[in-house]
Structure 1
Amino acid sequence: MPRSPRRVSAPSARRGWRDRHGRGMRSAVTGPHLPLLHTRVDDFDMTVASTAEYLRDLWPDELADVSFEVAGLPAQLGGGRSVDRWRVLPQQGRVILYRLPIERLSKLHRDDELHRRMMIESCVFRAVAELLGKDPWDLAPERFRHL
């Protein structure tokens, strides 16, 4: 059974730390001299959150009440041969992005961190464009204009 979608927000710097039995704050497993570990789920959530925040800055009135959520898979597979990458619910003001289809079914010409991030960003742009009834290229026209 698929998990329910989770809301995406900017990651907290102290996520996962807590005071346990009065022993003080727990330290990271990697120690003080190594960077914290990031999982694919964390990277996906952070990319969705930063892209949503960027689009909210560009379209504040239209996206003020829209929530961006991430789910692993769609609850129901479509009748066609394709699997949905996102779902837009305009009446509820929700955009749900499906992590596994975006990560695993996307055909990247170069499988590296930059291209994976660009694929996630493009899915967020296309989902918001569907919500607003616009072309994805019209959401941030100054971003792509080279002088």
Structure 2
Amino acid sequence: MPFASRRPRSYASPRALPSARARARHGRNGRSPVTGPDLPLAHTRLDAFEATVQATADYLQDLWPDELAALRIEVLPMPDQPPGVSGVARWRVIPQHRLVVLYRIPIERMSRLHREDDWHRRLMVESCVFRAVGELIGKDPWDLAPDRFRHW
């Protein structure tokens, strides 16, 4: 499934050499990153959002392979809305292109969660993906994965 959200990060891009001051400050050798060589890089909200969207889309494609074979999901920061439109869209569905566009900032910031923690934020993102994909294929979001929400 193509998943386009932003320009890919390039870890192999050439960098300019650090200045002499950064290399040998107070007679010491080069400086290492704050996280150190053995720790992973810090994760951002964008990384967590995209990982949740990707995992949810993969789950739905496994359940509905025929209907979602050509599904494309993109993540953009904010919608382009003309003046005079009330409300802020959290997603946009373009059926001709089998495209769902999710708007990260409205989903993250305008959702009223009863508890501000990672689990509830993840559920909010998953529910937006379910609702947008349901709108795309003409199904109720609860019908997309009926066993996922049965906990009894």
TM range (shorter): 0.7 to 0.9
- Say whether residues 1:141 and 2:135 are aligned partners: no
State the Cα distance separating 1:86 from its structure 2 match.
0.2
State the Cα distance separating 1:144 from its structure 2 match.
2.0
Q: 1:17 aligns with which of 11, 28, 40?
A: 11
| Unpaired runs of at least 5, structure 1 | 1-5, 22-26
Query: Between Structure 1 and Structure 2, whose CA radius of gyration is higher?
Result: 2
In structure 2, the residue matched to 1:112 is 117
Q: 2:4 aligns with which of 4, 7, 14?
A: 7
- Say whether residues 1:48 and 2:45 are aligned partners: no
8 Å CA contact retained: 1:47, 1:117: yes
**Deviation string for 1:17-67 (max 9, x for gaps)?**
32748xxxxx97622333320001111111111110110101111111010
8 Å CA contact retained: 1:28, 1:36: no
TM-score normalized by the length of structure 1: 0.79
Aligned CA-pair RMSD: 2.6
Q: 2:137 aligns with which of 124, 132, 135?
A: 132
CA distance in 2, matches of 1:142, 1:29: 44
TM-score normalized by the length of structure 2: 0.77
CA distance in 1, matches of 2:71, 2:92: 13
**Deviation string for 1:61-80 (max 9, x for gaps)?**
11110100001111115744
| Unpaired runs of at least 5, structure 2 | 16-31
Aligned length: 134
User: Which segment drifts farther, 43-52 or 28-37?
Assistant: 28-37
Give the number of the structure whose residues are more often helix, by fraction. 2
Assess, with a 3 A threshold, how the Cα gap between structure 1 residues 30 and 112 changes in structure 2: closer, same or farther: same
CA distance in 1, matches of 2:78, 2:13: 34
After TM superposition, which residue ranges in structure 1, 4 or more long, deviate above 4 angstroms? Answer: 77-80
CA distance in 1, matches of 2:45, 2:151: 32
Q: Helix, strand or coil: the match of 2:50?
A: helix
CA distance in 2, matches of 1:143, 1:102: 22
State the Cα distance separating 1:81 from its structure 2 match.
2.8
CA distance in 2, matches of 1:54, 1:28: 36
Q: What amino acid is the match of 1:141?
A: P
CA distance in 2, matches of 1:78, 1:59: 37
State the Cα distance separating 1:141 from its structure 2 match.
0.8
8 Å CA contact retained: 1:44, 1:120: yes
